Amino acid sequence: MVAIKRVIDYAVKIRVKPDKSGVETSNVKMSMNPFCEIALEEALRIKESGRASEVVAVSAGPAQCVDTLRTGLAMGADRAIHVEFPGTLYPLSIAKILKALVDAEKPGLLLLGKQAIDDDCNQTGQMIAGLLKWPQGTFASKVVLDEENKVATVDREVDGGLETLCLDLPAVITTDLRLNQPRYATLPNIMKAKSKVIKKLTPQDLNVEIRSDLEVVQVTEPPKRKAGLILSSVDELIDKLKNEARVL
């Protein structure tokens, strides 16, 4: 099972709404989150190598999520499930929804992108692993499945370099940039995907209560960079740091 998210396309210039309540999303191009594309590509490769029987793409969000799911179907996913919810969904809510879906579908592997490029939370994969009590391999740059022993060997990109973990299946893996290069959805596949049925559910169907413990109060642009000053002596530097920047 692959969880995918519909986000603002990575090439679009982001703008904060005039009322500072969030980022402008109307009239803006949306696409599948790039890390989710990588996760889906990995799932498809696992299926093509015979180690999985089916790839199911799932997404939670407003009605337009079906566009992203159709792209997933066009890339090669067998089925798609859309959990419709019009408001904002934070990682914990998504994780709870995913848990309900995993309990129902019982996949052998859950793949997600490491983070979404709109909120950069990097939490959903870790949270769902916790809720399911499954092992997790995050920031995966290489995944090798051993079906005989039912383990996955995952190379993780960590601050110090690469870490190799061996996870018992079923497990949660979140994907990083260098894992693979996603395939293009071909025109014939896009055509076929248009007529595939996407299963629609609501959080109530899954007995998940969407409760937000977070509230976004304000979104602002970063302050404009001020020009630098060239100082003439160390004394002047100390004076400015003490009296103007007030860091001493």
Partner 1 sequence: MGFFSSGYPRNPAKIADFGGNGGGFWRAQGLIGGVRNFSGEPVSRESLNYDVVIVGAGPAGLSAAIRLKQLCREKDVDLSVCVVEKGAEVGAHILSGNVFEPRALNELLPNWKQEEAPIHVPVSSDKFWLLSKTRAFPCPSPFNNRGNYVISLSQLVRWLGLKAEELGVEIYPGFAASEILYDTTDKVIGIATNDMGVAKDGSKKDNFQPGVELKGRVMLFAEGCRGSLSEEVIRKFNLREKGQGQHQTYALGIKEVWEVSADKHQAGSVLHTLGWPLDSRTYGGSFLYHMKDRQVAIGFVVALNYHNPFLNPYEEFQRFKHHPAISPLLEGGTVLEYGARTLNEGGYQSIPYPVFPGGAIIGCSAGFLNVPKIKGSHTAMKSGMLAAECVFRTLREGSPLEAFWDSLKSSWIWKELHSARNYRPAFEYGLFPGLALSALEHYIMKGRSPWTMKHGKPDHEATGEAQLFRPIDYPKPDGVISFDVPTSLYRSNTNHDHDQPAHLRLRDPKIPELVNLPVYAGPESRYCPARVYEYVADDSSHLKLQINAQNCLHCKACDIKDPKQNIKWTVPEGGGGPGYTIM
- Considering only residues 206 to 245 of the shown chain, the ones binding partner 1 according to CB under 8 A are none
Residues 135-169 as b/e (b if ≥16 CB within 10 A, e otherwise) read bbbbbbebbebeeeeebbebbbbeeeeeeebebeb
Residue (160 or 188) nearer to partner 1, CB: 188
Query: What is the length of the chain?
Result: 248
Q: Does 34 bind partner 1 (CB under 8 A)?
A: yes
Residue (181 or 204) nearer to partner 1, CB: 181
Q: Does 21 bind partner 1 (CB under 8 A)?
A: no
Q: What is the spatial order of strands in the sheet that 198-201 belongs to?
A: 161-168, 151-158, 136-146, 171-175, 109-113, 2-3, 56-61, 79-84, 198-201
Q: Compute the least distance from the CB of residue 186 to partner 1, in Å.
A: 5
The closest alpha carbon to 81, from 113, 112, 55, belongs to 55
| Binding residue (CB under 8 A) for partner 1 from 50, 87, 188, 223 | 188
CA dist 221 and 77 (Å) reads 38
| Binding residue (CB under 8 A) for partner 1 from 21, 164, 181, 204 | 181
Q: Spell out, one character per residue from 63 to 92, where the chain touches partner 1: x when CB under 8 A holds, - when not.
A: --------x---------------------
Q: Does 100 bind partner 1 (CB under 8 A)?
A: no
φ/ψ bin of 179: left (φ > 0), alpha (ψ from -120 to 50), beta (otherwise): alpha
| Binding residue (CB under 8 A) for partner 1 from 94, 136, 180, 206 | 180
- Stretch of 129-137, 161-169, 190-198, 207-215 contacting partner 1, by CB under 8 A: 190-198
CA dist 202 and 102 (Å) reads 15
Residue (120 or 244) nearer to partner 1, CB: 120
Q: Compute the least distance from the CB of residue 218 to partner 1, in Å.
A: 18
Q: Compute the least distance from the CB of residue 121 to partner 1, in Å.
A: 17
Q: Does 186 bind partner 1 (CB under 8 A)?
A: yes
Residue with tokens 């490029």: 117
Q: Does 184 bind partner 1 (CB under 8 A)?
A: yes
- Stretch of 83-91, 101-109, 182-190, 202-210 contacting partner 1, by CB under 8 A: 182-190
CA dist 101 and 5 (Å) reads 15
For 11, 53, 102, 134, the CA distances from 167, given in Å and listed in that order, are 35, 20, 18, 9
CA dist 174 and 182 (Å) reads 15
Q: List phi, psi (to 5°) of 162.
A: -115, 140
Q: Which residues bind partner 1 (CB under 8 A)?
A: 9-13, 15, 18, 27-29, 31-34, 37-38, 71, 177, 180-188, 190-191, 194
